[in-house]
Structure 1
Amino acid sequence: MKKRKIPMRKCIACQENKPKKELIRVVRTPDGEVSIDLTGKKSGRGAYICDQISCFELAQKKKALQNQLSTQISETVYETLQSQVKGKSE
C-alpha cells in the first residue's frame, strides 16, 4: 500500500514545520474578513498557528498575524483564537 504524503505547514509564531491537521488556520477572505478556518478549505490567504498557548501569545506579541495576512486583526478574532487554542490544549 502506498503511503500518503502528509501536508506540512509552518507556525507563524515558533517557525516549526508541523502536519497541517495539528495547526489552526486563520484566513483572510477575498472580502477582507479575517476568521478562523476549522475546515482548512476556505478560500483566501491563510496563516497557521500551533495549538499551544505559548505560540498564541508569541504571535499576538509579535503581531505575526497582522504581518502574515497584511491586514488589521480585531480583538474578537484574537479572543476566538485564544479560546480555540485553550480548547485544544486541554
Structure 2
Amino acid sequence: MKQRKVPLRKDIVTGEMAPKRELVRVVRDKEGQVSLDPTGKKSGRGAYVSLNVEVAKQAKQKRTFDKVFEVSIRDSFYDELIEYVDHQQARKELFSDEK
C-alpha cells in the first residue's frame, strides 16, 4: 500500500515544522476577527501553533498572534487558546495510552 504524504506546517511560536495534526490553526477573517479553527477549514489567513500548553503560554506572553495578524487581540482569546490546547493535550495523552 502506498504511503500517504503527511502535510507539515510551521509553528509560528517555535518556528519548527510539525505534522498538521499536531498543531491548531488560528484564523483571521476578512473582518479582522481572530478565532480558533479546530477543523482547519475556515476561510481567512491562518497560522499554526503547537498543541503544547507551554508554547501557547509563550504565544500569550509574546503576543504572537497580534504581530502575525497585525490586529489587537484580547487576552481572553489567548486564555481560550491555552484552555483548548490543554484540553487537546490531555485527550491525546488519554487516548494514546489505550492503544
**TM-score, normalized by the shorter chain, greater than 0.5:** yes
**Is 1:20 aligned to residue 20 of structure 2?**
yes
CA distance in 2, matches of 1:85, 1:69: 20
CA displacement at 1:59 relative to structure 2: 1.3
Does 1:59 find its partner at 2:52?
no
Correspondence 1:17-56 to 2 at 5 A? 17-56=17-56
| Count of equivalent residues | 90
Which residue in the other structure is 2:83 paired with? 83
**What's the TM-score, normalizing by structure 1?**
0.91
Matching residue's letter, 2:52: Q
Gaps of 5+ in 2: 91-99
**Identity of matched residues, %:** 41
2-structure distance, mates of 1:6, 1:69? 26
Q: Which has the higher contact order (CA 8 A, sep 6+)?
A: 1
Cα displacement (A) at 1:28: 0.3
Unaligned runs of 5+ in 1: none
Structure with greater helix share of residues: 2
